[in-house]
């Protein structure tokens, strides 16, 4: 784990130092220090309410930290957002898209917003629609997409400017297994080509198979981080997660839920 007083790592894709964020009385993130190595496929795991979305929002310029710094490949995100943000592609939690646009229009919009010329946008948009298996629905309004299709078009929009670092909050949620496998392959190619991917996920098995590195977050701070093999230390990631986070509940206390003939 990173020493709290260590300076940001300029070579890291993301280098978080002393990140804090409070909502009223609730401290959502309490002193997160984390380095995401460039070229890694990095998983962020933690129980519900652990602070993953809040940390990722601060790490991508969507939510201002109360304290702490974020460096993207050595550039201070909150001090120099115009330099740092083009390096990032972001799939936020609960994406709100301009869903009265068609899939193709939404990609065009994302590309133009990122400063690409129309020819590049058209070419890359086509490639991305094909890669996400959305060519047949290119002219369908995004409001009429399924949850998984919406996730895929949002992911395509996050990639169109060829960012150096992709930060994806729950990218596989609601995505069917075939599409998930396609997305995994796309992300793996992106990492093989020198990109860095950060994904948050609740699916330990997926993170163990897919990611090179992982951080376990609970209660607003990092409990462990490193290569997947180092963090799981010979156990499955799921067992390590449960051991570290604790909190397995006995399943008693819901007797009224049992269906039985003598219940009244
Ligand atoms: N806008 C907000 N206002 C108030 N509280 C918030 C807000 N956003 C997050 N929180 C609180 O901060 C804590 C961390 O939430 P966060 O969404 O970061 O967790 P998470 O790890 O992403 O959870 P999940 O896995 O369930 O998505 C939670 O207790 C949540 O209720």
pLDDT tens string 27-44: 999 999 999 999 999 999
pLDDT at 93: 80
Residue 113's Cβ-side half-sphere holds a number of Cα atoms within 13 Å equal to 12
Predicted confidence (pLDDT) at residue 249 exceeds the cutoff of 80: no
Q: Give distance in angstroms: CA of 51 to centre of ligand 1.
A: 6
Query: Is there an atom of ligand 1 within 6 Å of 72 CB?
Result: no
Q: Where are the domains of the chain?
A: 14-93+166-247
Predicted confidence (pLDDT) at residue 261 exceeds the cutoff of 80: no
What confidence tier does 2 reach under pLDDT thresholds 50, 70, 90?
very low
pLDDT at 218: 94
Query: Is there an atom of ligand 1 within 6 Å of 25 CB?
Result: no
Of the candidate ranges 100-109, 171-180, 195-204, the one whose mean pLDDT is the lowest:
171-180
Query: Is there an atom of ligand 1 within 6 Å of 53 CB?
Result: yes
pLDDT at 26: 95
* Architecture of domain 14-93+166-247 in this structure: 3-Layer(aba) Sandwich (3.40)
For the entire predicted model, the pTM comes to 0.90
Q: Which atom of ligand 1 is nearest to the CA of 169?
A: 22
Mean pLDDT computed over 86-110: 91
Q: Which atom of ligand 1 is nearest to the CA of 46?
A: 21
Mean pLDDT computed over 129-157: 93
């Amino acid at each position: 784990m990173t020493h709290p007083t260590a300076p940001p790592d300029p070579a890291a894709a993301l280098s978080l130092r002393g990140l804090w964020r409070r909502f009223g009385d609730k401290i959502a993130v309490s002193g997160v220090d984390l380095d995401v190595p460039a070229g890694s496929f990095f998983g962020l795991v933690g129980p519900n309410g652990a602070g993953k979305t809040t940390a990722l929002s601060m790490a991508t310029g969507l939510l201002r930290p109360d304290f702490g710094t974020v460096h993207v490949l050595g550039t201070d995100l909150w001090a120099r957002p115009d330099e740092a943000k083009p390096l990032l592609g972001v799939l936020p939690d609960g994406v709100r898209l301009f869903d009265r646009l068609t899939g193709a229009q939404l990609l065009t919009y994302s590309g133009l917003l990122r400063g690409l010329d129309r020819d590049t946008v058209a070419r890359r948009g086509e490639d991305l629609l094909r890669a996400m298996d959305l060519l047949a629905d290119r002219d369908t309004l995004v409001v009429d997409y399924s949850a998984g299709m919406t996730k895929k078009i949002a992911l395509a929009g996050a990639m169109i400017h060829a960012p150096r670092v992709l930060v994806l909050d729950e990218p596989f949620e609601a995505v069917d297994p075939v599409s998930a496998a396609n997305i995994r392959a796309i992300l793996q190619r992106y990492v093989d080509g020198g990109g860095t991917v950060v994904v948050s996920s609740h699916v330990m098995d997926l993170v163990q198979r897919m990611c090179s590195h992982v951080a376990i977050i609970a209660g607003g701070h990092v409990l462990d981080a490193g290569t997947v093999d180092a963090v799981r230390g010979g156990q499955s990631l799921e067992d390590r997660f449960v051991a570290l986070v604790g909190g397995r509940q006995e399943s008693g206390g819901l007797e009224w839920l049992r269906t039985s003939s003598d219940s009244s």
